[in-house]
């Protein structure tokens, strides 16, 4: 292929992924969140805009686009402004290695990097930099507290996630997400690795700062946490980043444990979306089921429960793979 075709393909792929994530994750995700919340709390949720409230998020976005954006006088303007770009960009970078389905010509993925899983771990942890920048740049006490809590939390929960990723890489013998899905042709890894799956789910909830790990933006103590000072579209971009990251984590869980795009009869992309939304629903369900942790409980849970458990699980798996199965 000539080089400009490659470049055009990459540009087109990027645009498709960005708009796809903005629609599937942010637009529809926010609506789903509100509907599910309403359903769990015996309310009806948004109903007025569009048929059955379907266009609510579109209306919200148009509203936010018309809002003035305010940079507080005391804020560090450069850090304040660049954090807004960094958070959604870092979240969307995850999608480079997520396989959405398969076609006659090969798997539907932006680029099947040979270190896919490691790449995912690296980009998803970039978000904390953006959050710290937002918290520090705002020069607001609530924002700073939110940013610092976020750093402590993400730093703690990245290790269990890393250990789980290594366990799966050990089973699959590869870091490429496509190979990992291929290896699950006969048996999903959730069957052989149920503990890994639970650790991943708990740590992923913490990584994306959702209840019960939402100390970063605990609205009853910190207003909106690190994005308290952001108005209009900048606020919306943080929301986009957050939902994109939540969907990316769910998509990675689907890829690692639930057989990715595999499934009978229906097209592969549909299967992927079904599994993805099922996991996202679990995230939302958890949100309205558990109360928020205290910060010391949160760190204890990671360092004294998840990390030892993940290490034991890794050693056990390594024993089976390297000693028993040989």
Partner 1 sequence: MLLDWGYVAIFVIVGAGMVSLPFAIIALLSPRSSFPHKLDTYESGVEPVGQAWSQFNVRYYMFSLIFVVFDVEIIYLYPWAVVARSLGASAFYSILVFLAILVLGLAYAWRKGALEWS
For residues 227-266, which are near partner 1 according to CB under 8 A?
228-229, 232-233, 236-237
Q: Tell me the closest approach of the beta carbon of residue 278 to partner 1, in angstroms.
A: 28
Q: What is the distance in angstroms between the CA of the first residue and the CA of the last residue of the chain? A: 43
What DSSP state is assigned to residue 49?
S
Residue 114's contacts (CB-CB under 8 Å, 6 or more residues apart) are: 174, 175, 176
For the segment 92-151, give every residue that binds partner 1 (CB under 8 A).
Answer: 92-93, 96, 110-111, 113-115, 118, 136, 138-144, 148, 151
Q: Which is nearer to partner 1, 92 or 284 (CB)?
A: 92
Examine residue 77 and tell whether it contacts partner 1 (CB under 8 A): no
Strand-pairing partners, residue 102, are 107
Q: Which is nearer to partner 1, 37 or 179 (CB)?
A: 179
Q: Which is nearer to partner 1, 30 or 279 (CB)?
A: 30
Q: Which is nearer to partner 1, 85 or 266 (CB)?
A: 85
Which among 259, 278, 282, 261 is positioned nearest to 270, based on CA atoms? 261
Q: Fill in the per-residue mask, 305 to 324: x = in contact with partner 1 (CB under 8 A), - = not in contact.
A: --xx--x--xx--xx-xxx-
Q: Which is nearer to partner 1, 115 or 286 (CB)?
A: 115
Q: Which is nearer to partner 1, 157 or 271 (CB)?
A: 157
Q: How many CB atoms are closer than 10 A to CB 259?
A: 24
List the one residue from 7, 40, 270, 278 that touches partner 1 (CB under 8 A): 7
d(CA 291, CA 211): 7
* Residue 51 exposed, middle or buried by CB count within 10 Å (0-12, 13-18, 19+): exposed
Q: Tell me the closest approach of the beta carbon of residue 260 to partner 1, in angstroms.
A: 19
For the segment 150-209, give every residue that binds partner 1 (CB under 8 A).
Answer: 151-152, 155-156, 158-159, 162-163, 166-167, 169-170, 173-175
Q: Which is nearer to partner 1, 43 or 111 (CB)?
A: 111
Q: Tell me the closest approach of the beta carbon of residue 142 to partner 1, in angstroms.
A: 8
Q: Tell me the closest approach of the beta carbon of residue 161 to partner 1, in angstroms.
A: 9
d(CA 136, CA 222): 14
Q: Which stretch binds partner 1 (CB under 8 A): 37-45, 89-97, 187-195, 267-275?
A: 89-97
Q: Tell me the closest approach of the beta carbon of residue 42 to partner 1, in angstroms.
A: 31
Question: Torsion over CA of 146, 152, 157 and 159, rounded to 10 degrees?
Answer: 150
Element (H, E) at 107: strand 106-108
Q: How many CA atoms within 13 Å lie on the side-chain side of 201?
A: 21
Residue 300's contacts (CB-CB under 8 Å, 6 or more residues apart) are: none
- The torsion region of residue 72 among left (phi > 0), alpha (psi -120 to 50) and beta comes to beta
List the one residue from 40, 44, 85, 270 that touches partner 1 (CB under 8 A): 85
């Amino acid at each position: 292929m000539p080089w400009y075709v490659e470049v055009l393909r990459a540009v087109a792929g990027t645009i498709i992924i960005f708009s796809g994530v903005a629609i599937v994750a942010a637009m529809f995700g926010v609506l789903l969140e509100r509907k599910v919340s309403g359903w769990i709390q015996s309310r009806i949720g948004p109903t007025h805009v569009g048929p059955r409230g379907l266009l609510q998020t579109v209306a919200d976005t148009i509203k936010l686009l018309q809002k003035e954006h305010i940079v507080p006088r005391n804020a560090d303007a450069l850090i304040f402004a660049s954090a807004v770009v960094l958070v959604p960009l870092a979240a969307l970078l995850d999608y480079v290695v997520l396989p959405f389905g398969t076609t006659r010509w090969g798997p539907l993925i932006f680029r099947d990097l040979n270190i896919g899983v490691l790449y995912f771990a690296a980009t998803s942890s970039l978000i904390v930099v953006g959050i710290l920048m937002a918290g520090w740049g705002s020069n607001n006490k609530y924002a700073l507290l939110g940013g610092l809590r976020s750093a402590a939390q993400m730093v703690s929960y990245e290790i269990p996630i890393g250990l789980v990723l290594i366990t799966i890489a050990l089973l699959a013998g590869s870091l490429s997400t496509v190979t990992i899905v291929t290896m699950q042709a006969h048996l999903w890894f959730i069957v052989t690795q149920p503990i890994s799956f639970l650790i991943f789910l708990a740590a992923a909830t913490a990584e994306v700062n959702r209840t019960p790990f939402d100390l970063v933006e605990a609205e009853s103590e910190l207003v909106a946490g690190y994005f308290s000072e952001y108005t209009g579209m900048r606020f919306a971009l943080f929301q986009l980043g957050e939902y994109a990251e939540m969907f990316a984590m769910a998509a990675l869980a689907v890829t690692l444990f639930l057989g990715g795009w595999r499934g009978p009869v229906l097209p592969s992309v549909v299967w992927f979306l079904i599994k993805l939304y099922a996991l996202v629903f679990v995230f939302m369900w958890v949100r309205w089921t558990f109360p928020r942790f205290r910060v010391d409980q949160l760190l204890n849970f990671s360092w004294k429960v998840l990390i030892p458990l993940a290490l034991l699980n890794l050693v056990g798996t390594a024993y089976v793979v390297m000693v028993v199965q040989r």
